[in-house]
Amino acid sequence: MENKNTMPSAGSGGLFDQPRKAASGFVFSGAVFGMLVLSILLSVTLALISQTSGTPVSELTQSEAYLYVAYVLYDVAYIAAIASFLLVCKEKPRALGFRLPKARYWPAAVLLAFGLLFSLNFVNGWFIDLLGIFGYEASSSALPSVEGAGLFGVLFAVAVLPAFFEETLLRGVVLEGIKDVGTVAACLLGGLLFSLFHMSPVQTVYQFVCGCAFTLLAIRAQSVFPTMLAHFLNNAVIVLDLRFGFLAGVTGGAAAALYAVSGVCLVAVLVWLIFFDRGTNRRKEGPLRSFLLPASVGIGMCAIMWIVNFAAGIGG
């Protein structure tokens, strides 16, 4: 695979000594900036509609139209960031991680999604309890109706689109630019970015672990497609459970067995990816500075929004 992060022998160590890293950083910051701009535009639009129609904003935000727009809005920012990268850098789809993986990574993705979704419930619950010590109360996120054909619309908006665009952005554009920092560093950074990217105090630990695991899977598979599958399954199970409530009846011993099996699956997949499937291991070949400088704007905005959301949870 071509390394586009080559440094000149007598370089100054500047931002563009490793252009592919810099491009990844700019794309990340651009996507976050786009998300915030679109959020502001949506809020302004809601206020104008409320003023002209006399309908309270609280009522507008419960409408089906608003809920769908709210869920697909960020995808517009992702599309713009990805398209800008392809146009400016003149890259091909392979630069997004669009490569067919070996067959063994598909079942690994399924087992990873199963393991993450259920076995991390305890860890996430502990973190939420920790936030509660500071007076934080998590707010629930409303979904559009999942009744009838609405189920397919919600699956598309909540499971298909985020899986495709978030993975293309983070495990495609960004990861392809920073893989030469080493496998461990890339996974930890991938987890941090994925966690911050969602700006959700409640999901902080869960998204960090998912981000690390998805990054490792993408590196091993040399493809973003298995992580898309894992991401989709994670979100789809949540939507399907909301519609059919099949997890509500899993209590007592059945719940303990489910968590135990999912934990075994998670550990088994991670052990295999870390210790046995090491063909794509990378040692550190270059510094992170070329990525972190342009990415720091997006990281800073995400951190600020995390704090704002945390403060809102305390005040709410």
Residue 10 has pLDDT above 60, yes or no: no
pLDDT digits over 18-31, tens only? 889 999 999 999 99
Residue 5 has pLDDT above 80, yes or no: no
pLDDT digits over 214-235, tens only? 999 999 999 999 999 999 999 9
Which token pair is 27?
């794309």
Average pLDDT in the chain = 91
**Residue ranges of domains in the chain:** 19-138+148-315
| Secondary structure of residue 86 in the 3-state scheme | helix
Supply the pLDDT for residue 95. Answer: 85
Tally Cβ neighbours within 10 Å of residue 275. Answer: 8
Residue 40 has pLDDT above 70, yes or no: yes
Residue among 260, 74, 250 at smallest CA distance from 170: 74
Round the CA-based radius of gyration of the chain to a whole number and report it. 20
Residue among 193, 203, 151 at smallest CA distance from 171: 193
Confidence of residue 8 (pLDDT cuts 50, 70, 90): very low
- Range among 167-171, 202-206, 250-254, 255-259 with highest mean pLDDT value: 167-171
Query: What is the rounded average pLDDT of the residues 102-122?
Result: 94
Residue 301 has pLDDT above 70, yes or no: yes
pLDDT digits over 262-288, tens only? 999 999 999 999 999 887 766 666 778
Long-range CB pairs of 141-145 (<8 Å, 24+ gap) are 142/62, 142/67, 143/67, 143/71, 143/239, 143/242, 144/64, 144/67, 144/68, 144/71, 145/64
Supply the pLDDT for residue 15. Answer: 58
Residue 316 has pLDDT above 80, yes or no: no
Supply the pLDDT for residue 6. Answer: 53
Integer Cα distance of 33 and 35 in angstroms: 5
Integer Cα distance of 210 and 120 in angstroms: 10
Query: What is the rounded average pLDDT of the residues 61-73?
Result: 95
Tally Cβ neighbours within 10 Å of residue 284. Answer: 13
CB-based contacts of 206, cutoff 8 Å, min separation 6: 116, 120, 123, 124, 127
Residue 1 has pLDDT above 50, yes or no: no
Confidence of residue 143 (pLDDT cuts 50, 70, 90): very high
- pTM attached to this predicted model: 0.92
Query: What is the rounded average pLDDT of the residues 165-183?
Result: 94
Question: Using an 8 Å Cβ cutoff, are 271 and 6 in contact?
Answer: no
Supply the pLDDT for residue 11. Answer: 42
Residue among 279, 275, 270 at smallest CA distance from 111: 270
DSSP, res 101: P
Residue 307 has pLDDT above 80, yes or no: yes
